[in-house]
Structure 1
Amino acid sequence: MTETMGLMFAGLFGMVLLNVPIAIALGMVAVIAIWLSQGTDMLPNVALVMFEGATNFPLLAIPLFIFAGGIMNSSSISRRLINLASAMLGFVRGGLAMVTIGSSMFFAEISGSAVAGVAALGSLLIPAMKSRGYSKEYAAAISSSSASLAIILPPSIPMILYAVMAQVSVVKMFISGLLPGLLGGAGLALASWYYAVKHDFPVEQRFAWSRLVQAFREAIWALMLPVVILGGIFGGFVTATEGAAVAVVAALFISTVIYRELDLRALYRALVDGALQTAVVMLLVASSALVGVFLTESRVPQALASSIAELTTNPYMVLLLLNILFLILGMFLHSAAAIILTVPIILPLIQQVGIDPVHFGLVLTLNLAIGQQTPPVASVLIAACSIAKSDIWQTTKANVGFLVVLLAVLMICTYVPWFALAPTQWFYGDPSIGAMPVN
């Protein structure tokens, strides 16, 4: 088992270092492993396994939420949300940083994508912060860290991927991310206020009810998007996949009929961008199906679970080891790739030591939110740095305080699971959700 895993990971990381796309690298490693262990007779099944792996119905939510985010980027929805956040928070010292956090949380509730969030909001807010005296490194850091709340808050795309891989309820995963996401936003706001006082960042404007009311009126239809999406999903009126379709229809209606600001050219760009992002994710999913089939048939996950269980069966110690593993993997893998690669291997261990899969999924996604901020991969941080034209390592230094906040949220959710999972327990009336045995 150890030799098989070692060879597969060595081959995978070797190809990644050669700049082979990770989806291609995963597929090549899986095909070679199947060929060497099972012979050429099994190769005709490769296409069928990949097709079945990428056609799971809940996965349809991913391109739809990506498309909804693209529509927001192409219309004035993002700008209206920023104006509302500015009217609410601009009177606080360092108000633009607060606006960035608030806008990112609004955007996360609609698109589910951290990269889309930093691209949409960062292009407007990072130049504004630089013009008001914020360093470009700080502007990139707060934009990047707040955008990563999208991986925790519903409708998180990584949570959808995990739910499909682990065969758990997408809605349970969404509900589990509510309190951690709000706690993360509050923690980032507190850290940004501390930096604002320390560095004497400016107050943007005095609070005015008239400005707040005007901004609210202009953004009221944009604010209806998360209400419709999450209200429909949590209310049981639609599934997560159907909610994604509702998000697209609502975004199109608001952008074209209400605001009348989405033309055919912008819609075409949103479609193309959405198709490209979806293709990358779905190729990863299809390739991972091959890896999953090979590992399952070779009983590698079960062997790994038994090996770790021989060291400890204490669920908290297991979670500690997994946190270390995922924080390291997050430095080198995108969130989708990390979920797809690790969940089939780790899930038997989770089940063996009695950790609730919803709790584990929340811990995993929190780790990957931090991984989006830690070089060398750091997809969200790199996107923010490209907008701010800042050095990634200098930006990482400026981001340390915000990373500490995200790490604190991770520790709370890991070792005080009832805090994060209380809404899920209440919603389903099941106090056993998230409960762990005492060893």
Structure 2
Amino acid sequence: MLIAAIFCALLAMICINVPIAVSLAMCGVIGLLVTEGAGSLVTIALDMYDGSTKFSLIAIPMFVLAGAIMNAGGITDRLINFVSAIIGFIRGGLAMVNIGVSLFFAEISGSAVADVAAMGSILIPQMKKRGYSKEFSAAVTSSSASLAIIIPPSIPMILYAASANTSVEQLFVAGVVPGLLGAAGLMGVAYAFAKRYDYPVEEAFNLPRIRETFKDAMPAFALPVIILGGIFGGFVTATEAAGLAVFAALVVSAWYRNLNLAHLRRAMLDGGIQTAVVMLLVAASVLMGGFLTRAQIPQQLAEGILSVTAQQWAILLILNFFFLIIGFFLHSAAAIILVVPIVIPLISAAGIDPVHFGLVVTLNLAIGQQTPPVASVLITSCSVARANIWAVSKVNIWFVSVLLAVLMLCTYVPTVPMFLVEYFYR
């Protein structure tokens, strides 16, 4: 009875716009107070501090900062020029440039909101100027930005690894193939729209132009080499790679000699606010997690579902549906912090690989970023494009269907995401 009351109170506070971190902390404190008395609250400040200062979480602000430096230092513009030279000759090429640059930017920032804010402000006005509808421009920018939480490094993957006590490096490796498949699928949908609505070709194929833009963008290519090469090669941890990414982004920006300090300052402030929100969620989740663990809710959930079915495919289907629904209403960080500790005992009991499940969770939440009412990434893209969210959603459903297809493939053909993990780590 108490558990039901606690969760009803949590949902009620979220619905009336109480910050999720505050809601989690209040419900956790009430639960501990009722079940164990006031003595259980003596150490809550220390517990919250310890929970939010895990070494792996340091990677979050570092990757956000690396993305801000990359955008302020002129690196993004050079990447756009290079990708445009490669695929600009295809009909609807600017939409594919949008997807291709998002794929690269995802390897630096790990944040879909940062991706759509950085790329959208540059590419959406250009797409509208060239005859693309604002709804299509917003949809392709929003959906491609969600690659940022599938392609490594990924902030939700870092949070999942911390919540599930699993390897963030292995999660990063598992995200490579699904991210590339997602990008290919999004480009296919963009090409179909371009053919149907006769969107323009950007420029003729020109080999000297490709060589010129490649040479100009070459220093920028050092960034993913440092991050992914260091992690995959076992030279650095994900947290250390985040620090290297910041250093490398500063060096490359200095090489180009056009670092926009005002833009960088604003981006750093935004990144700091975003990081603070995540850390508050992490700290607050410690209290709720302590209450749930002592009440043995995760164990009861595992026993309840396993009493209905012990088949892995059925359990994954139930959890996929659950996380898709959760993604409609919660930010990805909040969903991971709130739900993952509850379902991990079920995953362990069912014999499901926690790295595989982490990728499934990440894909579900990438879809959640595109589905109202919360839809944080979609709303950001619509704001930049000045487009109606429901009109954009009608277009975006075709791009979301690609992400759903990748989700189903990775859920039920685990070899797709896991063969690189097996190769590098097992």
Query: The TM-score by the shorter chain falls in which range?
Result: over 0.9
Cα distance in 1 for partners of 2:83, 2:5 equals 50
Residue from 295, 300, 303 that aligns with 1:303: 300
**Partner in structure 1 of residue 392 of structure 2:** 395
| Alignment partners' CA distance in 2, 1:139 and 1:70 | 23
CA contact (8 A) 1:30 1:291 kept: yes
> Which one of the candidate residues 26, 29, 36 is aligned to 1:28?
26
Q: In the TM superposition, what whole-angstrom CA distance separates every residue of 1:271-308 from its partner, at most 9, and x where no partner exists?
A: 32221111011001101111111111111100110011
Q: Which amino acid in structure 2 is aligned with residue 30 of structure 1?
A: G
Would the aligned equivalents of 2:227 and 2:242 in 1 still touch at CA under 8 Å?
A: yes
Deviation digits for residues 221-270 of structure 1 (CA, Å, limit 9, x no counterpart): 111111111111111111110000000111111112x0112254344323
Structure 2 match to 1:412: 409
Deviation of the 1:175 alpha carbon: 0.4
Alpha-carbon offset, residue 73 of structure 1: 2.3
Amino acid at match of 2:183: G
Which one-letter code corresponds to 1:262 in the other structure?
L
TM-score by length of structure 2 reads 0.98
Q: Match for residue 245 of structure 2?
A: 247
Of the three residues 290, 293, 297, the one matched with 1:293 is 290
SS in 2 for 1:390: coil
CA contact (8 A) 1:108 1:149 kept: yes
Summarize deviations over 1:158-192 as a string: whole Å, max 9, x none. Answer: 10110111111111000000100000000001111
Alignment correspondent of 2:148? 150
* Structure 2: distance between partners of 1:185 and 1:229: 20
Q: Does 1:380 align with 2:377?
A: yes
Whether the 8 Å contact between 1:100 and 1:125 is mirrored in structure 2 is yes
2:327 equivalent to 1:330:
yes
Moved more, 67-76 or 377-386: 67-76
Q: How many angstroms apart in 1 are the aligned matches of 2:186 and 2:300?
A: 40
**Contact conserved, 1:305 with 1:346, CA < 8 A, in 2?**
yes
Which of 10, 14, 17 does residue 15 from structure 2 map onto? 17
- 2:201 maps to 203
| Structure 2 runs not aligned, ≥5 long | none
Contact 1:335/1:368 (8 A) holds in 2: yes
Identity %: 58
In 2, the alpha carbon distance for the partners of 1:16 and 1:308 equals 27
Deviates more, 1:42-51 or 1:351-360: 42-51
Structure 1 position 99, deviation (Å)? 0.3
What residue in structure 2 maps to residue 422 of structure 1?
419
Cα gap change, 1:359/1:4 in structure 2, threshold over 3 Å: closer, same or farther?
farther
Aligned with 1:95 (options 86, 93, 96): 93
Residue 339 (structure 1) aligned with residue 365 (structure 2): no
- Matching residue of 1:270: 267
**Alignment correspondent of 1:118:** 116
Name the aligned partner's letter for residue 14 of structure 1.
A
Match of 2:364 in 1: 367
CA distance in 1, matches of 2:395, 2:422: 38
Structure 1 length-normalised TM:
0.95
CA distance in 1, matches of 2:106, 2:315: 30
- Corresponding residue for residue 107 of structure 1: 105
- Give the counterpart of 2:314 among 314, 317, 324: 317
CA–CA separation in structure 2 for the residues paired with 1:81 and 1:18: 43
Alpha-carbon spacing, 1:229–1:319, altered in 2? closer, same or farther (3 Å): same
Q: Distance in 1 between matches of 2:325 and 2:2?
A: 21
Partner residue of 1:436?
none
Work out whether residues 164 and 341 of structure 2, in 8 Å CA contact, stay in contact via their aligned partners in 1: yes
Q: Which residue of 1 aligns with 2:80?
A: 82
1: distance between equivalents of 2:183 and 2:370? Answer: 16
Equivalent of residue 157 in structure 2, options 156, 159, 162: 159
CA distance in 2 between partners of 1:116 and 1:77 (Å)? 15
Q: Is the 8 A contact 1:225 1:250 kept in 2?
A: yes
When residues 179 and 82 of structure 1 are mapped into structure 2, their CA distance, relative to the original with a 3 A threshold, is same
Which of 184, 189, 213 is equivalent to 2:187? 189
Secondary structure in structure 2 of the residue aligned to 1:241: helix
2:256 to 243, 256, 259: 259
Amino acid at match of 2:245: A
Tell me, yes or no, if the aligned pair for 1:77 and 1:219 is still in contact at 8 Å: yes
For 1:158 and 1:66, the matched residues in 2 are separated by: 12
Q: 1:372-426, CA deviations, whole angstroms, 9 ceiling, x for partnerless residues?
A: 0000000000000000000111111110110110000000000010111111111
Aligned partner of 2:337: which letter? I
Q: In structure 1, what is the Cα distance between the partners aligned to 2:27 and 2:253?
A: 44
Query: What is the one-letter code of the residue matched to 2:23?
Result: A
Per the alignment, do residues 137 and 264 of structure 1 end up closer, same or farther by CA in structure 2, a change over 3 Å counting? closer
Contact 2:135 2:387 survives alignment (8 Å): yes
Question: Contact 2:25/2:285 (CA < 8 Å) preserved in 1?
Answer: yes
Using the TM superposition, give the Cα deviation of residue 126 of structure 1 relative to its aligned residue in structure 2, in angstroms. Answer: 0.6
Indicate if the aligned counterparts of 1:70 and 1:273 stay in contact, CA closer than 8 A.
no
Q: Cα RMSD between the aligned structures?
A: 1.0
The question of whether the paired residues in 1 share the 8 Å contact of 2:75 and 2:217 is answered with: yes
Asked whether the 8 Å contact 2:72–2:261 carries over to 1, the reply is no
The structure-2 alpha-carbon separation of the partners of 1:4 and 1:357, relative to structure 1 and needing over 3 Å to count, comes to farther
